[in-house]
Structure 1
Amino acid sequence: MRICIVKLSAMGDIIHAMVALQFIKKHIPSAQIDWVVESGFKGVLENNPHIDNILNVNLKSIKKNKLDIFTQYRLLKTYSKNNYDIIIDAQGLLKSALVSRIIGAKTIAGFDKNSIRESVASFFYNKKIHIAYKENAIDRNMAVICQSLDIQYTKNDILEKDKFLFFSKTEQKATEPYIVLVVGASKENKIYPKEKFADLVNKLGKKTIIVWGNEEEHKTAIWIVKNSDFAIIAPKGNLDALKSIVAGAKIAIGGDTGPTHMAWGLNIPSVTIFGNTPEYRNTYITNINKVVKSSSKVDPLKLDPSDFSIRDIDVNEITQCISQHQLLSY
């Protein structure tokens, strides 16, 4: 069976969908699984033994150069030669639905019109899955992928998942215990203040590696190092290196963003700090993966861009969460 999953971006969303791979292989061992992804995020998928082919696209380039639409169309048409039995659009956007249709398959599966924000996307599917948009993102991804393939699973199966992020053998874990601190996010109102991060590092009193992905985050990391006693900055690296760093951590702490969600995918303890995004929807709370949420009420259908309540979260709430659940035991 030839299966193609379309999940283009972003890092956290891709991670939330990748958990389904192990269930596909368990129930359809001989399946070929290919994945269509924006080229900037292919590193999240690399080295996963359940993925046969990573199919890169660069749809974001079209925003800068409209003529790139023809280049991307031709690229997608080459993927159509793979003769898939089923394509599953796990993104639920018009662009991902168009990608699915251009590649083509006898069965194109995706969310029904009442399960996504861009309801027109469902027009392109001939197998449609219903699960409310407000439901947990991991549950939504499992539903659209596994139900499209008639795979049965339980919530407990997800909780007892195997880790599903892998890195190359050249990326080795450090031997000295450390904490990973994720200081950036895609939006300003998802970022915890650097002053409070520095205070957190000092309160925890253990070696902390700060990971970063752009120059602004690097500046934040430098500031935290200068204003704390235990932090160091991770070297500039790719997503393979990032997976390796998170995999070696005793705990990962950060906002609602991809590198923090990596901890869940690697079965590493984590505390995710939420402000203007819904904690009940954007992560799984487990015995080792916890959340700290601001007091603001969040509507997942209409996020408030003026909600900077993450800045109001007291550092002691985070340390108490870690202590209460015994997430840091060394």
Structure 2
Amino acid sequence: MRVLLIKMSSMGDVFHTFPALTDAQHAIPGLVVDWVVEEAFAEIPAWHPVVDRVLPIKLRQWRKQPFAKQTRAQKNAFFNKVNEQRYDLVLDAQGLLKSAWVTRQLNAPKVGLDWSSARERLASFFYDRKINVAKDQHAITRLRELFAKALDYPLPNTPIEYGLNHQAWLPLEQAPNPQSQPYVVCLHGTTWQTKYWPEDHWQALITQLNQQGLKVVLPWGNAEEKARSERLAQGLNEHQAQRALEVWCPPAPLKLDEVARLLKHAKAVVSVDTGLSHVAAALDVPLVVLYRVTDPKLVGAQGQKVTHLCSPLAPHYIKKFKLGQEQASLQGLGVDDVLQMLNKQGACHG
């Protein structure tokens, strides 16, 4: 059986799909999956052994200039290439109008979520077969159920298994050697200001980890994150003089596969709510995720070694603090709370 999967973005959504792929691989001998994904995430699907071809799509770019000559040419070339392959079915695992539009361009039976299950209900009109999946479940659970119903196998009652081919990944050459210098990765970059963890909290955590013989690694992906990493690496803030810290800050932004290798060989990872937390979860690294103003119930990082720390305001998705909320959003997210969770996971000793 050959299936074409439509799951284009975001990073978290892509990683949420892996456990369902693992279920399907176990249930259907000889299953082959090709995957249409946004170009920015094109290297990720191939990490799963059941994925044969990764088909990068420039949908975000096309939507900016939908009537441009170059856009039309790229669309035609992309769909002509995909339709050269025969598929037993196309599975839209995203349930959005944009993913449904992509699905409709493909020459195979089309399966997706029904009216009551899709995030954008009108998407359900584009499918030949419609699947009902309850919405009040974590995204990973929903996807496992969708795949089971779409591909006709019993939904397994087993723990989450990402099933990625990461066993042979070597440590990152330029990073600290995990054997001689065990390290903790701190993922401080995220999208909303309200999701950040204060820099003085990060610095206090770094100091505590150093005292336990652990180096700290501070990857970054843009100029703002680089500046924060450098401040933390130098032990600088407006209240303190410079302190000597055992920290490695990459001199250049790392590629996604390099970040993944860095995470895989970490002693532990501490992260705010960001896409890279899902990468760490999929790699079975001890992980503590700080949910300051977002709720992990439906889309949080999940895995055998994942711990969530949630503030009382986590369910409220606050993008701008009102009076009194900023301090309340840090309740339960103190440095000692993080260290306690790392100790429980056995990850806080060098």
Shared fold, TM over 0.5: yes
TM-score norm. by structure 1 comes to: 0.89
Change (3 A) 1:11 1:162: closer
CA distance in 2 between counterparts of 1:146 and 1:198 reads 45
Higher Rg: 2
Taking only the aligned residue pairs, the percentage that are identical comes to 27
Q: Is 1:98–2:112 an aligned residue pair?
A: no
Quick one: which of 199, 218, 231 aligns to 1:223?
A: 231
Question: What number of residue pairs does the alignment pair up?
Answer: 324
The 8 Å contact of residues 59 and 69 in structure 1, kept in 2 or not, is answered as no
Quick one: which of 158, 162, 170 aligns to 1:156?
A: 158
TM-score norm. by structure 2 comes to: 0.84
The 8 Å contact of residues 111 and 131 in structure 1, kept in 2 or not, is answered as yes
Pairwise CA distance, 1:197 = 1.5
CA distance in 2 between counterparts of 1:223 and 1:53 reads 42
Pairwise CA distance, 1:115 = 2.0
1:183-262 to 2 correspondences below 5 Å = 183-205=188-210, 206-227=214-235, 229-234=245-250, 235-262=252-279
Q: Which residue of 1 aligns with 2:41?
A: 41
CA distance in 1 between counterparts of 2:299 and 2:167 reads 24
Q: Which residue of 2 aligns with 1:294?
A: 311
Change (3 A) 1:80 1:194: farther
Pairwise CA distance, 1:275 = 2.1
The 8 Å contact of residues 35 and 51 in structure 1, kept in 2 or not, is answered as yes
Pairwise CA distance, 1:76 = 2.3
Q: Which residue of 2 aligns with 1:129?
A: 131
CA distance in 2 between counterparts of 1:287 and 1:169 reads 20
**Partner letter of residue 194 of structure 1?**
E
User: Bigger shift: 207-216 or 39-48?
Assistant: 39-48
Q: Which residue of 1 aligns with 2:147?
A: 145
CA distance in 2 between counterparts of 1:172 and 1:153 reads 37
Q: Which residue of 1 aligns with 2:320?
A: 306
Q: Which residue of 1 aligns with 2:14?
A: 14
User: Bigger shift: 182-191 or 254-263?
Assistant: 182-191
Pairwise CA distance, 1:153 = 3.4
**Partner letter of residue 305 of structure 1?**
K
Structure 1 unpaired stretches of 5+ = none
**Partner letter of residue 17 of structure 1?**
T
Q: Is 1:82–2:102 an aligned residue pair?
A: no
Q: Which residue of 1 aligns with 2:240?
A: none
The 8 Å contact of residues 292 and 314 in structure 2, kept in 1 or not, is answered as no
CA distance in 2 between counterparts of 1:55 and 1:23 reads 22
Structure 2 unpaired stretches of 5+ = 236-242
Pairwise CA distance, 1:155 = 4.1
Over aligned residues, Cα RMSD in angstroms? 2.4
The 8 Å contact of residues 192 and 310 in structure 1, kept in 2 or not, is answered as no
Pairwise CA distance, 1:163 = 4.0
Change (3 A) 1:239 1:286: closer
Pairwise CA distance, 1:11 = 0.9
Q: Secondary structure at the match of 1:82?
A: coil
